[in-house]
Amino acid sequence: MKLRKLNNAGIKEFEDYLDQLKEQPALAPPKNILTDPLTSEIIDAVIEIEERKFANRFELAKYLDEKLIAIPSMESNKGFWPWLSLYYFEILCPADVNGRRNPHEKARWIPAFSDFRKYYRHLLAGPYRIYRAHIDKPERALALLCGPIHKPGDIVEQLASRQELVTNKAVMEIATRLYINPKTGTPRKGAAGKSGGSARRLAEVLNQFDVTWDLYSMSSENLQSMLPKEFNKFAA
């Protein structure tokens, strides 16, 4: 399908659907608004988006980057991300065995661009922006991009909400080195949660370091050497 975006009426209709879905979890998504000229408009008449599956957030972000690279200002396009979310609704909000879907919070579908604690929660714009922030070497942000596209996970929640961390190359390298199994590309046991050495603890420790040190000018090796011993279990 050619790239389109929802207009205000389309966004409203999509929001209404998300509200209704909480009461009627088997309600079918309003796919008609994707192409209805009353609710959407074309962005680019050449670029095609295909229906497909993605192994993880990284693969999704890479695909979107390749598709959107020639179009300016897509990161903050208000109508595009809801449109794309609806287009991929079935894989972003899979139904359970009884055909019921749980959309969770609205920020997963309609980007909360002005809210720094929620903007990254959009299931598509979130991984795309993280990938773009590390476009010189996206693999360094694998800790935030390795999860399934409908389940961003706790590492994302802990690290993506802080601008100083998510944009810091050294921090992302450390997070990926500590928490991602290089053989499987999946999170190591204990990376999520509240226990010692977890991503939550890493965010807390770096939050304190950030008062004292200029973290942006540090290499990942130097920064990692300053971490408390609780992180050693992941560094082996």
Partner 1 sequence: MIRRLNYTKRKSINHQDVAIALNVQDSGSITFDTDLHLSKYELPPGATVFVEAYRQTSWMRFNYGTIGAISSPTERTLTAFDSPEGILFRVRVTSTDSPKGILLAEADQIGFRSAKGETENRMPLLPVKPEDIGNQVYRIDFASVRPILLINAAVADWKAVARSREFFALVYPTVLREILVRIIKIEKYFETEDESDWRSKWLTYALSLHGSPDLPGEDTDVDAIDDWVDQAVEAFCKDNTIIDKFIALWTEVGE
Q: Which of 21, 166, 174, 178 binds partner 1 (CB under 8 A)?
A: 166
Residue 139 engages partner 1 in binding (rule: CB under 8 A): no
Half-sphere exposure in the Cβ direction for 8 (13 Å, CA): 0
Residues in the chain, overall count: 236
Residue 136 engages partner 1 in binding (rule: CB under 8 A): no
Dist. CA 81–CA 83, nearest whole Å: 5
Residue 117 engages partner 1 in binding (rule: CB under 8 A): yes
> Among residues 161 and 186, whose Cβ is nearest to partner 1?
161
Q: Which stretch binds partner 1 (CB under 8 A): 43-51, 84-92, 161-169, 173-181?
A: 161-169
Residue 208 engages partner 1 in binding (rule: CB under 8 A): yes
Dist. CA 224–CA 226, nearest whole Å: 5
Letter string b/e over residues 153-180, b meaning 16 or more CB atoms within 10 A of that residue's CB: bbbbbbbbbbeebbebbbbbbbbbbbbb
Dist. CA 73–CA 162, nearest whole Å: 22
Place of tokens 């929001």: 15
Residue 73 engages partner 1 in binding (rule: CB under 8 A): yes
Q: Which tokens go with 148?
A: 């399934």
> Among residues 51 and 214, whose Cβ is nearest to partner 1?
214
Q: Which of 102, 204, 232, 233 binds partner 1 (CB under 8 A)?
A: 204
Residue 132 engages partner 1 in binding (rule: CB under 8 A): yes
> Among residues 49 and 170, whose Cβ is nearest to partner 1?
170
Q: What does residue 75 show for φ and ψ, rounded to 5 degrees?
A: -55, -35
Residues that bind partner 1 (CB under 8 A): 15, 72-73, 75-76, 113-120, 129-130, 132-133, 163, 166-167, 204, 207-208, 210-214, 216-218
